[in-house]
Amino acid sequence: MLFDSSKVLLFRYFVLCIGIAPGIIFAWLWVNGGLGANPAEAAVHFTGKTGLVLLLITIAFSPAFRLTGWRGVMAARRQIGLWAFFWLVVHMLTWFGWDQYWDWQWIWHDIWALHYVRYGVLALLLLVPLAVTSFQWFPQHMGWKAWHWLHRFIYLSAGLGIYHFWELTRADYLVPFVFGSVLAFLVVFRLIDALIHRQ
Amino acid sequence: MKGYRYPKIAESEVTPKHVFENRRRFLQHSAAFGAVMSFAPGMLMPNTASAWQRTLADKIQQGVSNQDFAEGESLTSVNDATTYNNFYEFGVRKSDPEVYGHKLQTDPWRVSIEGEFENTASVYLEDILRRYMLEERIYRLRCVETWSMVIPWLGFPLANLLTHYGLTSRANYIEFESIFDPDNLRGQRRSMIDWPYREALRIDEAMHPLTMIAVGMYGEKMPNQNGAPMRLVVPWKYGFKSIKSVVAIRALEEKPTPSWVAKNPEEYGFYANVNPEVDHPRWSQARERRIGEGGRRETLMFNGYADEVAQLYTGIDLQKHY
């Protein structure tokens, strides 16, 4: 029987594995030619989906805590959130570098010309203050209330990110629909939870 | 070859009903013995079943005249051209057509020639193939998703097929329809597009010598994932105009609505000419990625075929009619 603190540690290592796993999968695909004829496109799609999934998992941590009451969930929340941010930054850099070849003129053109690019950039920018303030120092100095308020932007960012995904989809909306449904479910859970606790 | 006219008789008269039904029964029985079916079709089926494959093999053997329409371009590797495809009938992932392509039933293949033709017909592919010399043409292929390839197609000008059946004076447009077979084509079980897939050309575009019906590529018969057994190739338009696995060719008086236009009229125009100056709301079209090549290259007006086709669009505002 493990002590609770070692279980927490174990869980944090598990979350570490979740954060690293996409990198290993991607490297494996790359080495084995699994990226196909258009590796730049494959890389952008892979990192984007990874980032969105991790973002949804991050959001799911708070209902998971409500349901289990286990402090290990909260102990790993910042980590999973930072992994989501990390993969979304990689997603953007992959697009900048691999897809657009660091051609800033065209990157700038696409950000302004194409709806979905704009929403994607906006979604990521919204996450920057969240990632920055995720260190212990911030909630203690800015106050937990303000910190919590700020970190609710993760819902908006996820919403914009899924909209970004929806907009770039050509015909088959199943996957972005599933992403959107998961987010909607999590938001509804959060709202109901907030209502119950207010009473 | 020139003097031959396809007899103007109904399909039901060409194949007597009892023969046709016999064949159906035969197929149903065979299906019950999966193990037998896995190798039997080529051995047991009536001659007509794989007739087009034999005719095509002969035609490919008879030597193809190599004409280079894409000077100085290096060919896209066969592997890339057959593993990275948009063929939503099999699913939306680029790898789906190769993975599920074997499900496409191409034996026998009939094409329905309908509408404003002097002679309408339902014709077996082998009968079409018998009429023409196959020609190899290397064309650039530019997808609306901003990737491009260079592919050696095997085929014949569409104009030859259209004139064979005689267009009437009311034929202003040619509409094409792809196979509809949701039992075998998993993508068609989802209503992402109003199946079957339809595309269309203005009559002068359809009659243009660059427009071809392809029945093969890279010196072989057309792979299923690339639109077997016969597809359209219109090199100066975005790839989605080059409809795959064609089962119907319809001459029409009124302008038809292609599938993508029906799906999203604000994004897709009837013409869909490759045009670096008109951005698609989803993609900037000024540049493209040549598959197998790093970086981006500039997209050429009409995909580099402006000298041949620009005169088709004089007086048309291509910003408006994209």
Global ipTM = 0.87
Read off the DSSP letter of residue A99: I
Amino acid at B55: T
* Cα separation values, B207 from B160, B183, B232, B256, B312, Å: 8, 34, 12, 17, 11
B100 is in an annotated binding site: no
Rounded to the nearest angstrom, the minimum Cα separation between A155 and chain B is: 25
Q: Which two structure tokens, joined as six digits, stand for B25?
A: 């029964």
Q: What residues form DSSP beta bridges with B135?
A: B65, B155
- DSSP for A103-153 reads -HHHHHHHHHH-HHHHHHHHHHHHHHHHHHTTSTHHHHHH-HHHHHHHHTH
**Residues composing chain A:** 199
Amino acid at B317: D
B178 is in an annotated binding site: yes
Interface with A, mutate which of B77, B82, B92, B299 (most A CBs under 10 A): B92
Say whether A41 sits in a helix, a strand or coil: helix
- How many Å apart are CA A180 and CA A136, to the nearest integer? 31
- How many Å apart are CA B90 and CA B98, to the nearest integer? 9
CB contact under 8 A, B292 and A37: yes
| Residue with the two structure tokens 């909306």 | A173
Nearest to B201 by CA among B228, B164, B229, B161: B161
Per-residue confidence (pLDDT) for residue B66, from 0 to 100: 65
B236-270 pLDDT, tens per residue?
Answer: 999 999 999 999 999 999 999 999 999 999 889 99
Q: Which of A36-40, A195-199, B12-16, B55-59 has the lowest mean pLDDT?
A: B12-16
CB contact under 8 A, B282 and A109: no
**Residues composing chain B:** 322
Q: How many percent of chain A have pLDDT more than 70?
A: 98
pLDDT at B7 over 60: no
- How many Å apart are CA B234 and CA B193, to the nearest integer? 21
Query: What contacts 24+ positions apart, CB below 8 Å, involve A114-118?
Result: A114/B279, A114/B281, A114/B282, A114/B283, A114/B284, A115/A167, A115/B281, A116/A164, A116/A165, A116/A167, A116/A168, A116/B282, A117/A164
- How many Å apart are CA B205 and CA B242, to the nearest integer? 12
- Residues of chain B in contact with residue A113, where contact means CB-CB under 8 angstroms, are 279, 284
Element (H, E) at B136: strand B135-142
- How many Å apart are CA B261 and CA A66, to the nearest integer? 48
- Residue B147 is nearest to which of A38, A106, A171, comparing CB atoms? A38
For the four alpha carbons of A14, A19, A25 and A28, in that order, the dihedral sign comes to: negative
Amino acid at A192: I
Average pLDDT over residues A55-75: 93
- Residues of chain B in contact with residue A40, where contact means CB-CB under 8 angstroms, are 289
Per-residue confidence (pLDDT) for residue B27, from 0 to 100: 44
- How many Å apart are CA A51 and CA A44, to the nearest integer? 11
Cβ-contact B275, B281 below 8 angstroms: no
Per-residue confidence (pLDDT) for residue B63, from 0 to 100: 67
| Residue with the two structure tokens 């004089």 | B314
Numbered residues of chain A with Cβ closer than 8 Å to any chain B Cβ: 36-38, 40-41, 100-101, 103, 106, 109-110, 113-116, 167-168, 170-174
Q: How many percent of chain B have pLDDT more than 70?
A: 83
Q: Which two structure tokens, joined as six digits, stand for B162?
A: 């259209």
- How many Å apart are CA B230 and CA B111, to the nearest integer? 10
Average pLDDT over residues B109-125: 97
CA B101, B104, B108, B109: dihedral to nearest 10 degrees? -90
pLDDT classification of B65: cutoffs 50, 70, 90? low
Rounded to the nearest angstrom, the minimum Cα separation between B70 and chain A is: 21
User: Within chain A, where are the H helices?
Assistant: 4-31, 39-68, 71-94, 104-113, 115-132, 137-142, 144-151, 153-168, 174-198
- How many Å apart are CA A118 and CA A121, to the nearest integer? 5
Amino acid at A142: M
- Residues of chain A in contact with residue B94, where contact means CB-CB under 8 angstroms, are 36-38
Q: Which of A150-164, B107-121, B207-221, B275-289 has the lowest mean pLDDT?
A: B275-289
- How many Å apart are CA B99 and CA B82, to the nearest integer? 10
Rounded to the nearest angstrom, the minimum Cα separation between A171 and chain B is: 5
Mean pLDDT of chain B: 87
The Cβ of residue A64 has, within 10 Å, a number of other Cβ atoms equal to: 16
CB contact under 8 A, B84 and A115: no
pLDDT classification of B72: cutoffs 50, 70, 90? confident
Q: Which of A79-88, A127-136, A151-160, B243-252 has the lowest mean pLDDT?
A: A127-136
- How many Å apart are CA B132 and CA B106, to the nearest integer? 20
Which is more confidently placed, A2 or A142?
A142
B258 preceded by a cis bond (ω within 30 of 0): no
Nearest to A128 by CA among A81, A164, A176: A81
Q: What share of chain B is helix, strand, coil (3-state, %, to 5)?
A: 30, 20, 45
Per-residue confidence (pLDDT) for residue B68, from 0 to 100: 65
Per-residue confidence (pLDDT) for residue B294, from 0 to 100: 82
- Residue A37 is nearest to which of B83, B88, B92, comparing CB atoms? B83
Q: What residues form DSSP beta bridges with B156?
A: B213
- Residues with Cβ within 8 Å of A4's Cβ and at least 6 positions away in sequence, in order, are A71, A72
This prediction has a pTM of: 0.85
Cβ-contact B215, B111 below 8 angstroms: no
B181-198 pLDDT, tens per residue?
Answer: 999 999 999 888 999 999
- Residues of chain B in contact with residue A100, where contact means CB-CB under 8 angstroms, are 296
- Residues of chain A in contact with residue B80, where contact means CB-CB under 8 angstroms, are 37
Per-residue confidence (pLDDT) for residue A61, from 0 to 100: 95
Which is more confidently placed, A24 or B3?
A24
Average pLDDT over residues B159-178: 98
Q: Which two structure tokens, joined as six digits, stand for B80?
A: 């890339």
pLDDT at B33 over 70: no
pLDDT classification of A140: cutoffs 50, 70, 90? confident
Per-residue confidence (pLDDT) for residue B30, from 0 to 100: 44
Average pLDDT over residues B99-116: 96
CB contact under 8 A, A174 and B289: no
B88 is in an annotated binding site: yes
pLDDT at A172 over 60: yes
